[in-house]
């Protein structure tokens, strides 16, 4: 079961929305972890094949809930979770290509985390963050 499944099956949070996302820095780190766990690049590729993921092993989604923002992998159990209390600010930088833009979370635990997502996702994440801050989440 991937990290995304575990988030979506959680009964303790209300999931508002999710969609495809990309964070190169986190993906590089997770690939390094996979290579370390599985004896190098070849072992990591074989592990990805065993998951029926192949080169898509680093495919991830963003998820926003009433309590947190997630960057969760579809095929891997790994995920990032930032509770709304850990996020001190967000910024949005729209791009024309690729469509969408960058959501930058300013977090207490990891500093700035920059994630690429679609145009509608940027607005959804911003709205949920602002609402969570207003409510005190």
Query: Which residue segment(s) compose the domain that 83 sits in?
Result: 3-135
Task: Tell me which residue of 57, 56, 77, 79 sits closest to 69, measured CA to CA.
Answer: 79
Asked if pLDDT for residue 1 goes beyond 70, the answer is no
Q: What is the CATH number of the domain that holds 10?
A: 2.30.29.30
Total number of residues shown for the chain:
137
Read off the pTM. Answer: 0.85
Structure tokens at 124: 């959804």
**pLDDT, tens only, 40-49:** 999 999 998 9
């Amino acid at each position: 079961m991937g990290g995304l499944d575990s988030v979506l099956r959680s009964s303790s949070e209300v999931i508002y929305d999710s969609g495809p996302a990309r964070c190169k820095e986190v993906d590089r780190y997770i690939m390094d972890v996979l290579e370390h766990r599985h004896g190098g690049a070849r072992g990591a590729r074989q592990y990805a094949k065993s998951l029926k993921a192949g080169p898509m092993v680093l495919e991830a989604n963003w998820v926003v809930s009433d309590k947190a923002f997630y960057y969760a992998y579809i095929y891997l159990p790994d995920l990032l979770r930032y509770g709304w209390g850990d996020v001190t600010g967000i910024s949005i930088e729209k791009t024309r290509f690729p469509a969408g833009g960058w959501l930058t979370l300013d977090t207490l635990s990891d500093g700035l985390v920059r994630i690429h997502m679609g145009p509608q996702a940027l607005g959804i994440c911003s709205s949920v963050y602002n609402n969570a801050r207003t409510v005190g989440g």
